[in-house]
Amino acid sequence: MNHLAAQCIRCHKVEKRKGSDIGPNLQSAGLQGRSHHLEAIVEPQKTIAEGYGSISLTLKNGQSVAGLFKSEVKRVIEIKDAEGKITKVASEDVKERTPVISTMPPMGAILTKREIRDIIEYLSTLKSKK
Ligand code: HEC
């Protein structure tokens, strides 16, 4: 909540407490294992929480669309912008796309090992069902 450099609540919250929805709500983080938490914190690009990765598309008509990659089903890509609005794009209209990436900063250089261990233990206690 209060770490000045890590600022987890700039992007996350736990249940309905103070925070933001840029990253996933961490209320059920404890249902995942400690090794997942460690990886999510020090190497965020390795696995991206579903629906929370960022992507940028360049369309054949020259427009670009960027936001959170929600899904790609039956050749329709859904992208969510910062206001929560969903844009649908037909896969065949896409000229170029970036890989889906995490906007979470890697915390290995920002937090001490002890702080990382404390966060992992804290996350392990969060077991609300979504
Ligand atoms: C700038 C925004 C930002 C900040 C700051 C941030 N995160 Fe994240 N975090 C994200 C985003 C976006 C994702 C989803 C993409 C991914 O999986 O990396 C994420 C994913 C996670 C996940 C994985 C969730 C899952 O369901 O797999 C955990 C755990 C996590 N963050 C914990 C933290 C902690 C703890 C901090 C503070 C030390 C923090 N984050 C700071 C944006 C952020």
CATH number of domain containing 72? 2.30.30.100
Domain coverage including residue 114: 1-47+103-130
Nearest CA to ligand 1 atom 41: 8
One domain, residues 126 and 114 = yes
One domain, residues 67 and 41 = no
Predicted local distance difference test score (pLDDT) of residue 129: 77
Cβ contact 11:23 at 8 Å:
yes
Report d(CA 56, CA 6) in Å as an integer. 25
One domain, residues 83 and 123 = no
One domain, residues 60 and 38 = no
Q: What is the mean pLDDT of residues 82-97?
A: 95
Three-class SS state of 101: strand
Pocket test for ligand 1, best of 1, 2, 11 (most atoms within 8 A of CB): 11
Determine whether the shortest distance from the Cβ of 12 to ligand 1 is under 6 A: yes
Q: How many domains does the chain have?
A: 2
> Is pLDDT at 130 greater than 70 in this prediction?
no
- Whole-model pTM: value is 0.92
Cβ contact 27:15 at 8 Å:
yes
Distance 113 CA to ligand 1 centre (A): 17
| Host H or E run for residue 35 | helix 34-42
Pocket test for ligand 1, best of 10, 12, 68, 120 (most atoms within 8 A of CB): 12
Report d(CA 10, CA 13) in Å as an integer. 8
What pLDDT digit, counting tens, does each position of 21-66 carry? 899 999 999 999 999 999 999 999 999 999 999 999 999 999 999 9
User: Which CATH number belongs to the domain containing residue 113 in this structure?
Assistant: 1.10.760.10
One domain, residues 41 and 14 = yes
Cβ contact 99:57 at 8 Å:
no
Cα 24 off chain centre by = 6
